[in-house]
Structure 1
């Protein structure tokens, strides 16, 4: 492990980091008849979460996901989907399995004495359903989201407010995420970060190098010891 203090608290991103989005990925691609539709939709979702953060015009992630489906249809020259169909697609985000390495990784980290807490852009009701469906609820001390703050990650307040609420200094806290924008945000706010290098994910070259990098959560757990 690099020469950083052993973190007391681990904050976990949820979507893609813990949960496998393949089912949603396939459904969106099939709906819009494009192998790039999901990536385009997810990019719009993240882009407009930042628009809402910078303009102080908050909508929850479900509302943004719905709007992003409309924008995706428009970008692809297709008709907007009916509200019921969009709701059906978006419901899939609450029915996702964990990646195979997640349960062994969380088990190892919990047994090593780390405090485990989620920090996600999803709203609380969605997060509760996600974790219950995936069978991960009991691994975590708290299931936290950005909803009460009404600023999306990677705004520094999302990380710092969580650290204060849990009574742990940023330097003694590590974000675990599969997104380079998320690890960048955490580190620039003074936290440590572990990047889980899921297929297709990259770190941000203009941000600090993550404290730890590994292909799976099990590997991150081994590095943390």
Structure 2
């Protein structure tokens, strides 16, 4: 259960803006790459959290750095005592090219499209990584646009990142909904005027300090069922 009460919706959104890393891609497999270079797999999660922290810090100070550059820099810190840091870094980064979708994503995306919703992505990662993920998963045709903050003024959760996606799609903020597993992303979208759905894959409490999501679901099919129950936007 979440510790923040979701805020009610009176209609479906016209546009869903989906996060990619961890929301759609199953990044637990990167732990195997850490093992293969002689590093404990439990370091994968704090490494990813650290690279997001660094990306946010750069965004706040006016730099829109490439995700891959920040990820490599953060890996150099984690792997600093390895004999061949560069080779180990390349091996782990290569794992992004082989990540699978979460088990619920394919059916969930199809269910959301069946409701007539427009689907796009907005990732702090690269377009190429997202495109490859969707091609491997057989869902690329479901997305109108595959967008990345690489082409926006700043990383999410900066308001300008969400504004970039809305501008590309020609949709007002109040007619769009972000879908993400990250409370910081939900919070950012809400602050930018979008509605938001939190995909709670772990059962962890939602942070009280963050703006609450409008909808909370444990999977994308569950989110589709919740949206189906709402009146369609006219």
* TM-score in terms of structure 1 length: 0.91
Q: Which runs of 5+ in 1 are unaligned?
A: none
Output the CA distance in 2 between the equivalents of 1:100 and 1:68.
Answer: 29
CA-based RMSD: 1.9
Residue-pair matches, total:
222
Output the CA distance in 1 between the equivalents of 2:28 and 2:114.
Answer: 29
Alpha-carbon distance change, 80 to 121 in structure 1, aligned in 2, over 3 angstroms: farther
Give the CA deviation at 1:28. 2.2
Give the CA deviation at 1:209. 1.4
Give the CA deviation at 1:190. 0.7
| 2:163 corresponds to which of 156, 160, 185 | 160
Alignment match, 2:82: 79
Contact 2:31 2:41 (C-alpha < 8 Å) held by counterparts = no
Is 1:14 the counterpart of 2:20? The answer is: yes
Is 1:47 the counterpart of 2:49? The answer is: no
Alpha-carbon distance change, 202 to 26 in structure 1, aligned in 2, over 3 angstroms: farther
Give CA deviations for 1:72-114 in whole Å, capped at 9, x if unaligned: 134xxx2364323311211111211111111111111101100
Output the CA distance in 1 between the equivalents of 2:148 and 2:162.
Answer: 10
Alignment match, 1:36: 42
Give the CA deviation at 1:115. 0.1
Is 1:186 the counterpart of 2:192? The answer is: no
Which has the higher mean CA deviation after the structures are superposed, 32-41 or 62-71? 32-41
Alignment match, 2:151: 148
Alpha-carbon distance change, 159 to 58 in structure 1, aligned in 2, over 3 angstroms: closer
Q: What SS does structure 2 have at the residue aligned with 1:219?
A: helix
Higher relative contact order (CA 8 A, sep 6+): 2
Output the CA distance in 2 between the equivalents of 1:153 and 1:29.
Answer: 30
Contact 1:117 1:142 (C-alpha < 8 Å) held by counterparts = yes
Output the CA distance in 1 between the equivalents of 2:166 and 2:40.
Answer: 41
Query: Equivalent residues in 2 for 1:73-222 (5 A)?
Result: 73-74=79-80, 78-79=81-82, 81-199=84-202, 202-222=205-225
Which has the higher mean CA deviation after the structures are superposed, 119-128 or 12-21? 119-128
Contact 1:197 1:213 (C-alpha < 8 Å) held by counterparts = yes
Runs (4+) of structure 1 exceeding 4 A deviation are none
Alpha-carbon distance change, 192 to 32 in structure 1, aligned in 2, over 3 angstroms: farther
Q: What SS does structure 2 have at the residue aligned with 1:147?
A: helix
Q: Which runs of 5+ in 2 are unaligned?
A: 1-6, 229-234
Output the CA distance in 1 between the equivalents of 2:205 and 2:154.
Answer: 23
* TM-score in terms of structure 2 length: 0.88
